[in-house]
Structure 1
Amino acid sequence: MTACKARQIVACLFLAGLFPASAAAGFGECIGEIRSEAISRGIEAATADQLLADLAPSERVIELDRRQPEFTATLNDYLTARVNDARIDRGRALLDEHAELLQGIRRDYGVPGRYLIAFWGLETNFGSYTGRMPTVQSLATLACDRRRGEFFREQLLAALHLVDERILEPEQLRGSWAGALGNFQFLPSVYRDHAVDADGDGRKDLWDSLPDAAVSAAAFLRARGWEPGERWGREVQLPDGFDYALAERKQSLRAWRDAGLRTADGGPLPVADLAARLLIPAGADGPAFLVYNNFDVIMRWNPSRFYALSVGLLADRLIGAPPLSNPPPVEEPLRIETVSALQEALNRRGFDAGAVDGRIGTNTRRALRAFQADAGLVDDGHPDTDTLEELGINQSGR
């Protein structure tokens, strides 16, 4: 798409279909409402006026929001880009370099250093790129968009609070397209609620102070329910003739052992009452995982299964774990339009896939498993070629 000139951006977004007419026409009104709410929450009018003046929605932000890799990449592509040799080697070096800091964090917060290094690697490639997009414009665009407006409205208000309380200077508000900041890409509300001045210099600096950034990340994870002494999960082997209707079920490791699951290398699972949920994220031909409470905590950082698996697997590789014993298959990525068509087809046939949003979530996976079982296919909840063909859908989404 041809780039829009600043004064034409609303019209361009409208014509491109990326920003709905009602939102485009009402962007100024939306910002006015946010300004009023900020002042009602105690933020100085001068701060609100300084940061909210002369804003226009960002075409690039809307495009990136609609094309997030968590929704469009295959598991193989996602892991290949994130859990690779270069990142593993660099992460191991940093784990050694910052051993004293990380040991102290584990003692105080219960979060092992390998997880913090893994988050750091995935979020900013160990601080090499923290983002340069203007945070207020990004958050304002998303706050006034139809998809997750209320969530990002709160983030924009939190950003105004950070400046109003002199925690951050306005020029520091640059980061990712979604408004995340610093080494660990904290959203403004997370920065406000969980940032720590760990080095004692009077500032909560998540860019240039690794102690501040890493301790803040650990504090956030612990506040979200991190269980010290537990891992994120593990790869497992499924028995022959496995009943895929058990996917997504949560039960004890002992029960999964009794159901015939084994460790990735073929050994017996521990005899334990630890609750574990079974994930089969790339279908019957791909890897299977039992995930624990800390996996769900990782998803409270980023609500993507692929992301949470990448954190856990990278953390394991940093301390010498082998690669996956059953790597995910190489597949063609599904377009958002294809997933939308799939959801529409399932709904038409009476299999409730929920809202047609082009994203495969819990409802869509459940509907897929039910349809596959009804059609005599492998009911793994994965939209493989056979399933798409049975639904009359090709990769173009028609």
Structure 2
Amino acid sequence: MKKQLLAATLTITLLPIPASATVDFDNCLDGIRDRALEEGVSPGTADRVLARVEFLDRVIELDRRQPEFTTPFTDYLERSVTKQRVERGRELLRTHRALLQRVQRRTGVPSAYLLAFWGLETNYGSYFGGTFVPSALATLACDPRRSEFFTDELIAALRIVQDDALPLDSMQGSWAGAMGHVQFMPSVFLRHAVDADGDGRRDLWNSIPDAMLSAASFLKELGWETGYRWGREVLLPGDLDFAVAEPSQRRPLADWRRLGVTDVAGQPVADLELPATLLLPAGHRGPAFLVYPNFDVILGWNRSEYYALAVGHLADRIGGAGPLHTPLPSDAPRLSRDEVMQLQAALNARGFDSGEVDGILGPATRDAIRGYQLSRGLIPDGFPDRTLLARLDIR
């Protein structure tokens, strides 16, 4: 879903479309129209919206190089959690304290997290995106990579128009179809957008109360656990077996305590049964994090671990915490999409399944890296460092 570097300014350029592609797109739209009518969208609404839809080549290009999957964690976090964004978040925390406290009492979601989402999604409302949402959704619905998901979202957008919940001309958003202060996808808008200011409209563009309560209601529905944080940065003992850093190794916090994991002040982590997973997004030389069930809730908003870590860290900073204790590595390899594809192909050829060779350094690829590292006696942190790349003849 969404996104800032994620909601960074995007200029959509319409490139010439081959005649065959135009025909295929038209045929795809006809199929979507038929399905929309079967699901209760009126012919008038479908025809009015789809008549304005255009295929956007730039959307496909951006979908293939989302920063959560193509940027090293070091770069991603430094661009996401900036000094300016932290300071602005703290300022808005003071400005909207009464509103945010009301929202927290109603939903259980702390104010700093709402500000973190707001900051990452649209830089606190400074940029909502300039793409006609139905065109973005139709383009992605007619692309095979995630056709089903975006077809559902396009039909949801048609329902929004049919219900007069949002004027069609106002349906501007990100290249991926997300809208408003907190960049809701259309299906999320339908289910979770609320009228918090009592004006009879669910206005995620012009009403901060609507946007904040809608975001908190969505997080509550995703399962936010009141009284717990997202996770925390931790320090690892020198003799830790890094095999426990596998994402499937979810252990009670008390187990991590027994393994010698401490907070950044050197105090043992809490002796609780709270499930926690160890993440090493920049490899074993970078910061380590224990993440809790609320981290999974953040992932329900956006499936990128980098994004979820950025939300948690930004929320901590807005709440008064300082920078990370362990510095981010400055020499992490910056892999192009072609190089990630080479890496995936090399892992697959050696029997370590990285999934589709798509150039996206996602969970399946990191799992394959971890398996290869274990087999070669390397530290199994799932990180494509220079040693790994050299062994696989990448670069």
Q: TM-score, normalised by structure 1?
A: 0.93
Question: Residue in 2 aligned with 1:352?
Answer: 353
Aligned to 1:239: 237
Q: Residue 244 of structure 1 contacts residue 379 of structure 1 at CA under 8 Å; is this kept in 2?
A: yes
1:195 is matched with 193
1:170 match:
168
Question: 1:367 is matched with which residue?
Answer: 368
Displacement after TM superposition at 1:174 (Å): 0.5
1:9 aligns with 2:17: yes
Structure-2 separation of matches of 1:4 and 1:245 = 46
Amino acid corresponding to residue 145 of structure 2 in structure 1: R
- Counterpart for residue 384 of structure 1: 385
Alignment map for 1:145-156 (pairs within 5 Å):
145-156=143-154
C-alpha distance in 1 between matches for 2:236 and 2:192 = 40
| 1:42 aligns to 2:40 (yes or no) | yes
Count of aligned pairs:
381
Measured after TM superposition, the shift of residue 360 of structure 1 is 2.3
Give the structure 1 partner of residue 178 of structure 2. 180
Q: Which amino acid aligns with 2:35?
A: E
Point out where structure 2 has 5 or more consecutive residues left out of the alignment: 1-11
Pair 1:292–1:4, CA change in 2 (3 A)? closer
Overall identity of the aligned pairs, in %:
52
SS in 1 for 2:329: coil
- 1:136 and 1:10 map into 2 onto residues whose CA distance is 21
Is the contact between residue 76 and residue 327 of structure 1 (CA under 8 Å) also seen in structure 2?
no
Secondary structure (helix, strand or coil) at the match of 1:60 reads helix
Question: In the aligned structure 2, how far is the partner of 1:229 from the partner of 1:172?
Answer: 38
8 Å CA contact 2:347–2:368 kept in 1: the answer is yes
CA contact (8 A) 2:333 2:385 kept: no
Give 2:278's aligned amino acid. Answer: L
Q: Which residue matches 2:290?
A: 290
Instruction: Describe how 1:260-271 pairs up with structure 2 within 5 A.
Output: 260-271=260-271
Contact 1:10-1:57 within 8 A present in 2 as well: no
Residue of structure 2 equivalent to 1:77 = 75
Secondary structure of residue in 1 paired with 2:144: coil
Provide the alpha-carbon RMSD of the alignment: 1.4
Question: Could you tell me whether the CA contact under 8 Å between 2:89 and 2:115 is conserved in 1?
Answer: yes
Q: Conserved in 2, the CA contact under 8 Å of 1:265 and 1:325?
A: no
Q: Structure 1 runs of 4+ off > 4 angstroms?
A: 3-6
Provide the secondary structure at the position in 2 that maps to 1:9. coil
Q: Which amino acid aligns with 2:180?
A: G
| TM norm structure 2 | 0.94
Q: Quick one: distance in 1 between partners of 2:259 and 2:57?
A: 50
Secondary structure at 2:17 match in 1: helix
Q: 1:24 to 1:367 in 2, by over 3 A?
A: farther
State the alpha-carbon separation in 1 of the partners of residues 306 and 161 from structure 2. Answer: 34
Distance in structure 1 (CA, Å) of the matches to 2:128 and 2:78: 21
Deviations 1:33-65 (A, max 9, x none): 111111112211111111101533101111111
Q: Distance in 1 between matches of 2:136 and 2:363?
A: 28
Does the 8 A contact of 1:10 with 1:56 survive in 2? no
Q: What is the CA distance between 1:242 and its match in structure 2?
A: 1.6
Equivalence map 1:322-341=2 (5 Å): 322-330=322-330, 331-341=332-342
SS in 2 for 1:290: strand
Determine the structure 1 residue equivalent to 2:6.
none
Letter in 1 for 2:122: T
Question: In the alignment, is the contact (CA less than 8 A) between 1:123 and 1:183 conserved in 2?
Answer: yes
SS at match of 2:251: strand
Q: What's the offset of the Cα at 1:25?
A: 4.4
How far the C-alpha of 1:24 sits from its partner, in A, is 5.6
> 2:14 touches 2:57 (CA, 8 Å); kept in 1?
no
Structure number with greater CO (CA < 8 Å, separation at least 6) is: 2
Structure 2 letter corresponding to 1:49? D
Give unpaired runs (5+ residues) of structure 1. Answer: 12-20
Please identify, of 278-287 and 352-361, the stretch whose mean Cα deviation from structure 2 is larger. 352-361
Q: Which residue of 2 aligns with 1:16?
A: none
Matches of 1:355 and 1:24 in 2, distance apart? 27
Corresponding residue of 1:312: 312
